[in-house]
Amino acid sequence: MQSRFQDNFVAPNLSDPRLASKRAYRMMIDGRSVDAQSGETITRESPGHRGKVIGEWPAGGAADAELAITAARRAFDTGARPRMSGAERSTILHAVVAKILDHVDELGLIECLETGKPLEQAKGEIGYCADLWSYAAGMSRGLEGATHNNIGENRLGLVLREPAGVVGIITPWNFPFIIVSERVPRAPGAGCTVVVKPSEFTSGTTIRLAELALEAGLPAGVFNVITGYGPAVGQVLAEDPRVDVLAFTGSVRVGTALAGLAAAGVKRVGSELGGKGPQIVFADADLDAAADGIAYGVYHNAGQCCISGSRLLVENSIRQPLLERVLELSRKLPFGDPLGAATRFGAMVSRNHLEKVASYVAAGVNEGAELLLGGDMVDAKSGNFFLLPRFSTRCAPTWPSPERKSSGRFWPPLVSTRPRKLSLWPMARHLASRPASGRADLENAIQTTRKLRAGRCWINSVIDGTPELPIGGYKKSGTGRELRRFGFDEYSQFKGLHMILGRGQPRFQHS
């Protein structure tokens, strides 16, 4: 069996030629590359290479958001996109796929340097995004409503699918290209226009995607990108009545605030608010496979993943041998320089985030958590944002609650709790909000997932995905669904059309 993890720290190479130059970006509004009206910019240093500025983009604000919304509204109300045939939409989306595939190396490098994730992971994500666009391109040609031919001899009913209008999309910093690719192709695929606000940390690939889409034939005004800090732009997208749908991915706190602003205008809101959950391992598991899945589930993207399995629930009979296997993999995990060929665990996104995570771990240890691995920041004196992978037992009271995803919980520590009087199954059902992992009896695993109030589960896998399956949350993990056909439904309106065939019976008679 080939494991995803091997040996240790990969020191940053500041002389790497890929760090030699800074990329300058501009926003995309109405098919034109523009600066912020204020003239202000945001510079981005690579989180794994202190002092290396790798990107600069406009610090857009409310006035820029107003211009982008105007462009998107005009493109929807008077432009060609909503009136294109499904075949025309599909052709353009397929052309975007070709552009993405032609630029995998470029886009992967940008994503790596801005997020701090390993280069090979970033390039793999770009390839996966091409598949997301390809699936949307094919499905956009087959979108349909419904007919009802059984509602009466002289009656016929039609359900018409229509584009919802202008869509505001706000994306986070951890998977910028994936999350924009989960949403954007379905909105124009359904006939909508979009205004995207990416994170101020990781705006480069979203801007490049909009530029490539324009080159591929997507009409001006259909795909607009505003860069800058969140509050001003996000509030405009939530409150402006010209925006028909708001799609947000991020924290519960911000998502709740935006939904409140949107509610005043009865605006439709789709949200993915995360909810890192447990990995559940039953006694019949293949321990080597389970350990590898557990390590991948918590350390992927340096733990900065809303679907990470940061809690581990294990039946007591296999607990000790499984923990030993996970510890061994964790000790050998190659981490450090995002550009390193062997790196599997890159940098944290910012110093503030790094220090916040480290403070939570320290507070937990002070209050009784047993730290089995890790304990300090790595290469901190050099100013790089590396955190040694951590593994502990007995979660402490000060650690953030499982129900809340904040920057404090976007972390790589893995916490394993020991079932006591409760059997594993009731405890798992009570705590679980995400994946099941390990090679377990299939019936046991399926019956477990059927009872979980969670939008996405895995059996014998973790952090896996495909365009054919929906994503979305239960409870405070969010509302709405993306991918498959459900993603198109998020950006569609459905109109009932009732018809009487022939003259029909009089309904109101004059005496």
Q: Which residues are catalytic?
A: 272, 306
> Could you give the count of Cα atoms lying within 13 Å of 447 in the half-sphere of its Cβ?
8
> Could you give the count of Cα atoms lying within 13 Å of 290 in the half-sphere of its Cβ?
26
149 Cβ contact partners less than 8 Å away, ≥ 6 residues apart: 156, 157
Indicate the residue type of 198.
P
- In 315-452, DSSP assigns E strands to 335-336, 370-373, 377-378, 386-387, 391-393, 414-417
Token output for 399? 């650690």
CB 50 within 8 A of CB 383: yes
Three state DSSP letters for 67-103:
HHHHHHHHHHHHCCHHHCCHHHHHHHHHHHHHHHHHC
Token output for 197? 């606000």
**Residue 416 CB neighbours (<10 A):** 23
Q: Could you give the CA distance from residue 112 to residue 198 in angstroms, rounded to a whole number?
A: 16
> Could you give the count of Cα atoms lying within 13 Å of 352 in the half-sphere of its Cβ?
3
Letter string b/e over residues 250-265, b meaning 16 or more CB atoms within 10 A of that residue's CB: bbbebbebbbebbeee
